[in-house]
Amino acid sequence: MPNIRHTPVAPTRAQVLAAGERIDAHRHDEHQIVYAGSGVLAVTTDAGTWFAPGTRAIWVPAGTVHAHRAHGHLELHLVGLPADDNPLGLDTPTVLAVSPLLRELIRAYTRTPGDTSAERGRLLAVLRDRLRASPQEPLRLPAPADPRLVAVCALVHDNPADPRTLAELGAATGAGERTLSRLFRSELGMTFPQWRTQSRLYHALRLLADGVPVTTVAHRCGWSSASAFIEVFRRAFGCTPGAHGRDARRAAVTRRPSS
């Protein structure tokens, strides 16, 4: 990532990003929790992209070069923690499940970032406790480095509805199926079907954030039916895509500042 901005202190604040708006590549000397109260957040590093709807947050360790992108109207909440305060013990970006209690703790803590009261300190202590109890979620789209994987992943990512098998994609890019299968496991840590599902879910979240109907999203992202898409989405995010879309639109309307 070129032109990397260095901001030593990881800010704690709430801010609004318009659909498609970006925060360019930067790094902090502190850890940061990134949460989207509405819309869908994508955090990208050299290793890949982590994505999170309103039921997930992203842990960004100190020193990690990362960029943000908003899909849909994004209510962004940032919580900075000192480099020696790592309640999760994690040194790589990680997606975490956000319970209703943790969601409200994050919102409350980012509402008054300049407050230094004892009450705010207790709020942070509870927030840290709930972070430790949050399950980790595999919502990551790792970035390939091997040119053969780059070519195949680009085809899938550019057209998530592409039905071709790994063998057919390999033939189109000049690579063998067995070689590609091995590279997916060794370099990306997942099988080709797993990577393609993650890519499709990422595209699906982006489309839902833009208000695209569920049936259309299923078709554009390569599922054979809306019911098949709904089942995969429910397993990944704990809710149906219809419910996710309604919640995102409701949050955007109720929290968008008046002009």
**Is pLDDT of 77 > 50?**
yes
Which of the four pLDDT bands, split at 50, 70 and 90, describes residue 209? confident
Burial class (CB in 10 A: 0-12, 13-18, 19+), 36: buried
User: Per DSSP, what are the bridge partners of residue 97?
Assistant: 56
Give the pLDDT mean for 2-18: 89
**Is pLDDT of 254 > 60?**
no
Give the pLDDT mean for 2-11: 87
Question: Hunting for tokens 């550019």 — which residue is that?
Answer: 158
Tens of pLDDT along 133-179?
A: 999 887 888 999 999 999 999 999 999 999 999 999 999 999 999 99
**What pLDDT score was predicted for residue 53?**
83
The rounded percent of the chain whose pLDDT value lies above 70 is 93
Q: Which long-range contacts does 160-163 make (Cβ < 8 Å, 24+ apart)?
A: 160/196, 160/199, 160/200, 160/203, 160/220, 160/221, 160/222, 161/219, 161/220, 161/221, 161/222, 162/222, 163/222
Per DSSP bridges, beta strands 31-45 and 5-6 are unpaired
Give the pLDDT mean for 7-26: 93
**Mean pLDDT across the chain, nearest whole number?**
89
Phi first, then psi: what are they for 106, rounded to 5°?
Answer: -65, -45
- Which domains can be identified in the chain, with CATH numbers? 5-137 (2.60.120.810), 143-250 (1.10.10.60)
pTM above 0.85, yes or no: no
CA distances from 27 to 39, 70, 76, 168, 257 (A): 23, 18, 17, 40, 29
Tens of pLDDT along 23-76?
A: 999 999 999 999 998 888 899 998 899 888 888 899 999 999 999 999 888 899
